A = this chain, B = another copy of it.
Amino acid sequence: KVENCINRVKYDYKQYIECNHVSRGVWPLPQKLLSSRERYTLEPRTLYFVYGRESSAQEGCSVLDAAFKRYFSLIFPEYTAGRLYHEISFENKSFIVEVTVGHSDCDGYPKEDSPEKYKLNITDGQAFLNAETVWGYFVNKTYIKDFPRFQFRGLMLDTSRHYLPLRTIFKTLDAMAYNKFNVFHWHIVDDPSFPFQSLAFPDLSRKGAFHPMTHIYTQSDVRKVISYARMRGIRVLPEFDSPGHTKSWGQGQPDLLTPCYTGNTPTGSVGPVNPALPSTYKFMWALLKEVTSVFPDSYIHLGGDEVNFSCWKSNPDIRTFMQKMGFGTDFAKLEGFYIENIVNITSALNKTSIVWQEVFDNHIQVMVEVWKAGCYLCKVRKVTKARLRVILAAPWYLDQPHNWAHYYNVWPLAFKGTEEQKKLVIGGEACMWGEYVDASNLAPRLWPRASATAERLWSDENQTNSLDKAFPRLNEFRCRLLRRGIQAEPLSVGHCKYEYEGI
C-alpha cells in the first residue's frame, strides 16, 4: 500500500489530487517521500511528542522541548489559543511522536556543517522522527527521508534603509524555519543608518541611527535574535559592509571616512572609509572584535561592494599614500589593500570572511557572494575555478517585482566545471534590500516568493524541475503559512480555508 507519490505524479492532475494529503503543501519537497492512503486522526488530547529511548537528547533539551511546544500549537491553533474546542474524542488511542537524535547539541548553535538530514516514519498511532542533530526539522505526516541539497540556505534582511522592529525579525525567522532556510544574513548597517549598538563606540548608533533610542538594536536585542534563530536551527550571519556603504558610520566616528576635495579644497562631503590612516584599522579591529564576540557564528560578512573611487581620487593624502605604497593610480589596489587588512583582522578573530563579488581576488582566502545580474554563472565558474567557495544571490533579489516562477527557475550548478568546482557552491540566498520595504510590507513581499528560493536550495533539482507541479503545492503551502500567522501574499486567484488573520 505504500506508494511513492512523487514518482507517480507525471502530468496527471487527477493522480496528483489522490496524493494531495502528502505532496501538496509539503515544501520544500523532501528528497524521498513515500505515502499510503491510510490516514490517522490527530487529536490535541492524545498527541504526544516524546524522546526516543536511544536519543542522545532527552527532556530538558532546550531546542527540542521548545520545538515540541511550538509545533503542537501550530498543529492545533484553536486548542492552544483557548478558542472554543469541542473535545469529542473519535478514538481513545494516543498518538505518539517519538523523536530520536544522534548528537545532543541542545545548547549549542547551528553550524555551517551541522547535519540537517532526518527520517520520519508514520504508522498507526506512532511516528518516529530520527535526526542526526537537533537541527533536523519536523514535518507532520507520512514517511520521509530527507536532507538538504545545499549547506547554506540564506535570507538577507536590510535593517539600515529601514529599521525593522524585533517582532518583524522574529516573524521572519518563524517563516524561515517553515521554509528550511538556515542562515539569517543580517545586513545590519549601511549608508542611511547604523542601528547596531556598539559598546566600544556608542556614538555609532547614537549619532548614526534614525533615532538613538527607538530605532536601534541593543546588544540584548541582538542576543534575542540570535537565540530565537538558534531555537529554529538558523544561524545569524552579521554583515558590516565597508569601505563603501558607510555614510552613517561617519556620523559617530570622526575621521573614519575620506574627506572629498575639489582641487586643494575639502568639499565638506565624505566618501568611503579612509584606507590610508592607521586609526581606521585600529577602529575596525576594535569594532570587529566586539561584533564577533556578540555574534557566535563562524562566518562574518565584510561587504566590500560598490566602492566609488572618485572621492579617494580627489583626496591629496590618499594620493600621497598611493605613491608611498607603490599603487600608482590603480585604486583597485588600494581597495584590495584595505580589504586584505580587514580580512586579516577577521582571520585573527577566527572567523571566515564572506565578501560581495567585487572583492573577488585569487589571492585572498574568502567566501564570495555572487550578486550581479547578467551571466552570474560565469562568475560562479570563475570563482570556483580559483578554488574559492561561492554563495549565489544574483537570481534571488526579492526586492525586484518578479513572480515566484522567476525565482524557482534557477539552476545554480548549470555551469561548465569540475565536480570539485560544483562542491564549492555551498548554497545561496534570497536578498531583500530595504529601499522600499519596512515592517509594513516586508512579509507579503518575502512570502511565498522566498519559498521558491528555499525549495531550490533544499530539494533535489530533478524532482523539482516543473513549475506546473510546484504550483499547487506552493499554493497549499502558502495557505499553511497564513494559518501560521505569516502574512504571505496570494499567487493567483483563489482562496484559503483560513484567510490571513481569519474571516
Q: Which residues of A contact B (CB under 8 A)?
A: 161-163, 165, 167, 192-193, 210-211, 214-215, 401, 434-441, 443-444, 482, 487-495, 497, 499-503
Contacts and interface: CB of A to CB of B under 8 A. Distances in A.
B440 A162 contact: no
A93 B154 CA distance: 58
B438 A500 contact: yes
A502 B437 CA distance: 16
Given A440-B482, A441-B487, A163 B499 contact: yes
A174 to B, nearest CB: 15
Given A161-B493, A444-B444, A493-B162, A439 B192 contact: no
Copies in the complex: 2
Nearest to A495: B210
Nearest to A165: B503
Q: Is the interface of A mostly helix, strand, loop or mixed?
A: loop
B489 A438 contact: yes
B440 A193 contact: no
18 contacts: A162-B493, A162-B495, A165-B499, A192-B493, A192-B494, A193-B495, A211-B497, A215-B503, A436-B489, A436-B491, A437-B489, A438-B500, A439-B499, A439-B500, A440-B499, A440-B500, A441-B441, A441-B489
Contacts of A434: 493
Contacts of A401: 401
A493 B435 contact: yes
A438 B492 contact: no
Nearest to A444: B441
Contacts of A192: 493-494
Contacts of A167: 501
Contacts of A492: 435-436
A490 B438 contact: yes
Given A163-B495, A440-B489, 19 more contacts: A161-B493, A162-B490, A162-B494, A165-B502, A165-B503, A167-B501, A192-B493, A192-B494, A214-B497, A215-B503, A435-B492, A438-B490, A439-B499, A439-B500, A439-B501, A440-B490, A440-B500, A441-B444, A441-B489
Contacts of A435: 492-493
Contacts of A497: 211, 214
Contacts of A502: 165
A9 to B, nearest CB: 25
